[in-house]
Structure 1
């Protein structure tokens, strides 16, 4: 049984992955809880075995067992805060990732799976493959993720690390982060408060249910150990079907038995008007096909919200 270390284990995706891998793997779960938000604390309580560890320190030496694979999800997330707090994003996403890489190098950990983001893509691309332009991300969040990809590429070439990067497209589902649109919409609609949409609702996102993300990662974990030394592969993980944010909000309201009060705002310059993933590369590698349709995913998320909301 492989020993897998998951950083950011109390985060949204880290929580779901940890819960799904527990039966099949020996897991070491760490999170630094630096945001101390209620969501992370609740998730950690459910997992019961998350250790508080700062990834900016030599953390592997503190563990009882050296991991064979590291799944690196610890990060500052979201676009808006990266505009006002770029230093925090650099510290966690860039320097934190650098320290994870150094821990891999110094402790001879050969396999790394890590979270990137669709935010690395530049503006003006209707559909994005892994070869699409990532030279000019619109936000510092996207920039920090791109910088991490470049560092990891170098460590693979220089030190023989084997890495798989995953560019997530608008993940949603139960235990979502409270700062994400899905939770904000559910909370506002539940309280009969207005929700704010950009560009008259004509913003499109490739909404991807968290179960499809986890399904792909579960297929990748056993495969990574058979890749050649120094290999670095990057894959999109998305539904492959953009949906308007207005439709997303409307479906949420319907599942909550409410009517959304919608107001409109101008689209910020650091936001893309559309995200649309080309996942053919991942399909060709592991036969990846997302299974959760939007209506089913929203029902799962809103059913969870009715009994588990944070506020």
Structure 2
């Protein structure tokens, strides 16, 4: 595990490079983004579960389902509707649970963000300080090197004019040489001071870099553990919902086991029966026979109004022109 520590693997030989630190920060940013994505996933899943629960609830409460059934099958259907209602309520509750899990993920993410901000603020300041003092040190080095070249040129000038007859010119060269030596000494001191300051800055940066690596590694371990546990818990919640659904549906299956075809048939017969005797056959009735048999035997009936009597016997011969008249009766319509 020692070889995998952040503090042992994110350095660079370039003094101004922050590639190791930037690599860690990028990884942590990706981790925070992943947490946000899972948080959004939970919220979306919660919305789906809530919609499913509410739709199932409306279906259970508003949609008829065998409402005219009777006896044991009716009781089984009542259990079915109730358990569907319970399943719907459970999914709505699961939606609320998932939103609470998403909230916990958000709080964890924000907590890590605040913790990181303290370390990042320190490191950003040290990076700027290191760059600033590095530039100052390099400028001091350039000045020092230039003063050294100036001194070397002054020494060479003195040597070239050592045998010159002009004492005033030689004196001028010696003054320039002395001045250049003083400038070299001053620039050398300044350069050394910047080197010492830069080294102090480098040591501070290096120490804080190690601390930052330890903090960031601890955060990443915590994040992976939290994310893993959150996902594990989410799956457990979904599995438990499946178990709960099945338990509720098992209640329906048990009620269906109590459903009796014979009992339901007998219950229907007892509640709705209309009689034991079927209708008698419809017999043929002769119209004329029914008329003759209408009066009881031994009694004289009055004139049969339903039938015209026999025609009277004519008193005249057929050749008689008055044949169409029978006493006062005529066949002609008046």
In the superposition, the TM-score normalised over structure 2's length comes to 0.20
Larger RCO (CA within 8 A; separation ≥ 6): 2
Indicate the structure (1 or 2) with the bigger Cα radius of gyration: 2
Query: Would you tell me which structure has more helix in proportion to its own residues?
Result: 2
Query: Would you tell me which structure has more strand in proportion to its own residues?
Result: 1
In the superposition, the TM-score normalised over structure 1's length comes to 0.21
